[in-house]
Amino acid sequence: MTNGPALIVVDAANVVGSRPDGWWRDRAGAARRLLTRIAAYAPHEPAAITVVLEGAAKAAADSAFPGQEFPGMDIVTASGSGDDAIVAAVAAARAADAHRSITVVTADRGLRERVAELGARTVGPGWLRERIDPGAPDKDTRPAS
């Protein structure tokens, strides 16, 4: 028997990094934009959503952006490796409910293997982008130099 809704765990660094739109110049800003889009989408998603931030992107979840809230999701700021934090989130969810459906959004092959061992399904960043940015091109839209 399942105790809670399905769970989606988002590897924010991997999703942000999947589109070469200049995210590397402002990692916290890129993470904040991702969180804002997920927050807008969350009311339409029956699953619980956990987003894992690491490194400089963690600033997107702190007081550096006053008044910015991200309803409809849990935000985990990794104290070390983002991958380790994702595996820990999946393991905790699995321990709480052995039958809960868990989907991890990442293209990281090593992380995919680690969470698959815990019974999680994996999907690539495009899966999430189709939901949070419908109709947006999933490619670099910068003009050629």
pLDDT digits (tens, 9 = 90+) for 106-129: 999 999 999 999 999 999 999 999
Dihedrals phi, psi of 73, to nearest 5 degrees: -155, 160
Averaged pLDDT of the chain: 86
Mean pLDDT of 128-145: 63
Other CB atoms within 10 A of residue 144 CB = 4
What was the pLDDT predicted at 145?
34
pTM for this entry: 0.86
What was the pLDDT predicted at 20?
72
Higher pLDDT, 123 or 144: 123
Confidence of residue 24 (pLDDT cuts 50, 70, 90): confident
* CA dihedral of residues 125, 83, 104, 63 (deg, nearest 10): -80
CA distance 50 to 77: 11
7-132 under CATH 3.30.310, yes or no: no
CB of 19 closer than 8 Å to CB of 42: no
pLDDT at 64 over 60: no
What was the pLDDT predicted at 49?
96
What was the pLDDT predicted at 141?
42
| Per-residue pLDDT reduced to its tens digit, 75-99 | 999 999 999 999 999 999 999 999 9
pLDDT at 68 over 80: no
CA distance 13 to 54: 7
Mean pLDDT of 46-63: 88
Q: How far apart, in Å, are the Cα atoms of 87 and each of 9, 12, 29, 40?
A: 10, 14, 25, 26
